[in-house]
Structure 1
């Protein structure tokens, strides 16, 4: 095993040097702080490297010989046994590497906190709100962290970056479809929007449509709400029916479409009847998401439902959320406008238009109440991710 020493101003740059020269199989043997930064001693195991090169060659050799001679079987078996032992050694080296990476994340955390404690304090506060690691770093990158107004500047940046739908969907009218995963409250949100519309306008100016033919009782639930408001409900099962129905409802000021709840991983998502395409581009799809959803899942949901074409987002179950930084992160990173906040089951009271500052204030209140994730723990998680990405 050959050892090599690397000097760099910080741990991240040191890890990049190791990766570029020794590759992903490098093993960190030791680290220490120096006057100029950090010193990292790394190595790559020659046997593990040899194993990686031999396996493809052996696979190619096996494909060249369709029927090995009997006297070659014993030597082939020995080679397989040898390769198994090498593979076992490689796995052990990976385990050691993982252990060292965990230790390095702590070292990097301590070093960074010492070098720029005020900036790190800002990142910690953002992470505690639920803001994603990458966005948190971006928000503080150009901030003078030593300024007494630094936190206020960070909040102002979030408020400026947060996309909010200035037009009230109910007032704007048109054809609006609510899409999203199962159980996020699309049908209840439709009822709240329809009820509020009827309070301001005539029930003759609105129509409700459902494409949900999968969930038991979904149509019945929507029809119950509609009957109370005196609004008709139309059921659509195909794209052709959708064309025909929308043409017949052309005089309505507002048409609300309740779609089937579909997982972001479901192939049926590509068959969504409201998917933007030639002839149906006048349908505005709004993604409905629960505020209680984890950040990684939110990102996955937005990424998947973008293929149907999204005009904006409606956030439900705000009263169940532990953090709101997750939705702030997703909206800012995807520049997806937020239209309504919904918290509670009351129709139509528990639905409100969005103001960026109000949402940010809610996020800060929840951040102060949230004690399940400590600041240091959250920051270590982010630092560990940064080192991992560098490799």
Structure 2
């Protein structure tokens, strides 16, 4: 069935039992000819390097901790895939989970949370834009009513989409706004919190619990892996389910994503690769994440974190 859908070049990276009892198959196209550099052997990276060297150097460059690097390397080598992208994708799929937002199940509002300056407001606007362009119903709510300019920034962005921005100061306000709106995607922007401040975390938890929201942690690229681990650990009481990484156009080290997802038990969801609201929101899957982590020298022609990594 996979080759019927994708063609003879399709390769099964891995299979994984789904949450609903089905089986999820991760497949990719082995498009070697399109990715090869004339002086490179794509299946082996630089001619003198082997698969382990390529993956080790890439993961170390992204400051991925040694224990996690070792686990990923063992799995990648066990897959016997000569292509570095597919080998790493298979390892990522075996150790992590990937899940974007449902296009049809709107039972739980989606609440973006994270430290100040993580890019939550722009991320909300990007998700809302994605829904509007797909002609799916969406509403946008903000609880960031204290920070100067917080409401105005998101209001300006939603106005372009012809959406009315709703504001909620208290859990009761939020509950009232979300009640009976399961026919649409509900996106909730929140004020930046100090993940180590118990009062901040408790106040955010009250907002989440008031509407049974699904929290999505937003972290900016450039975040220290150790700090990302501590943030994810400190926020475990919020039952966060997904991770979004922002500002990938501004940094070159992505180890924080792997560490936060591992410590928090989070599913990779999206990355933001541009400050522009109408572009640069990309869903993550094992292959696209592998492309982001591997350098151009491994045969992937995108040395920056733009849309080419997701094609």
Q: TM-score, normalised by structure 1?
A: 0.56
Cα RMSD (Å) of the superposition? 3.1
Task: Count how many residue pairs are aligned between Structure 1 and Structure 2.
Answer: 246
The answer to whether residue 70 in structure 2 is matched with residue 137 in structure 1 is: yes
Equivalent residue for 2:236, pick from 306, 309, 313: 306
Query: Runs of 4 or more off by more than 6 Å in structure 1?
Result: 118-122, 142-145, 366-370
Q: Identify unmatched segments of 5+ residues in structure 2.
A: 1-50, 305-311
Measured after TM superposition, the shift of residue 361 of structure 1 is 1.2
Matches of 2:160 and 2:75 in 1, distance apart?
Answer: 54
Q: Identify unmatched segments of 5+ residues in structure 1.
A: 1-117, 371-391
Equivalent residue, structure 1, for 2:128: 194
The answer to whether residue 141 in structure 2 is matched with residue 209 in structure 1 is: yes
Matches of 1:186 and 1:173 in 2, distance apart?
Answer: 20
Equivalent residue, structure 1, for 2:97: 163
Q: TM-score, normalised by structure 2?
A: 0.69
Measured after TM superposition, the shift of residue 150 of structure 1 is 11
Measured after TM superposition, the shift of residue 155 of structure 1 is 5.6
Secondary structure of 1:287 counterpart: strand
Secondary structure of 2:266 counterpart: coil
The answer to whether residue 152 in structure 2 is matched with residue 220 in structure 1 is: yes
Contact 2:75 2:91 in 1 (8 A): no
Secondary structure of 2:117 counterpart: coil
Equivalent residue, structure 2, for 1:360: 290
The answer to whether residue 257 in structure 2 is matched with residue 324 in structure 1 is: no
Matches of 1:245 and 1:304 in 2, distance apart?
Answer: 29
Matches of 1:285 and 1:320 in 2, distance apart?
Answer: 25
Name the structure with the higher helix share. Answer: 1
What does the per-residue CA deviation read over 1:91-150, in whole Å, with 9 as the maximum and x for residues that have no partner? xxxxxxxxxxxxxxxxxxxxxxxxxxx9899655532232212212333467879x9969
The answer to whether residue 220 in structure 2 is matched with residue 290 in structure 1 is: yes
What does the per-residue CA deviation read over 1:30-62, in whole Å, with 9 as the maximum and x for residues that have no partner? xxxxxxxxxxxxxxxxxxxxxxxxxxxxxxxxx
Measured after TM superposition, the shift of residue 310 of structure 1 is 0.7
The answer to whether residue 117 in structure 2 is matched with residue 183 in structure 1 is: yes
- Quickly say closer, same or farther: Cα 1:333–1:119, change in 2 above 3 A: farther
Matches of 2:291 and 2:264 in 1, distance apart?
Answer: 21
Structure with bigger gyration radius: 1
Matches of 2:234 and 2:74 in 1, distance apart?
Answer: 30
- Quickly say closer, same or farther: Cα 1:285–1:217, change in 2 above 3 A: same
Matches of 1:193 and 1:341 in 2, distance apart?
Answer: 11
The answer to whether residue 56 in structure 2 is matched with residue 126 in structure 1 is: no
Matches of 1:188 and 1:300 in 2, distance apart?
Answer: 24
- Quickly say closer, same or farther: Cα 1:119–1:319, change in 2 above 3 A: closer
Contact 1:128 1:367 in 2 (8 A): no
Equivalent residue, structure 2, for 1:262: 193
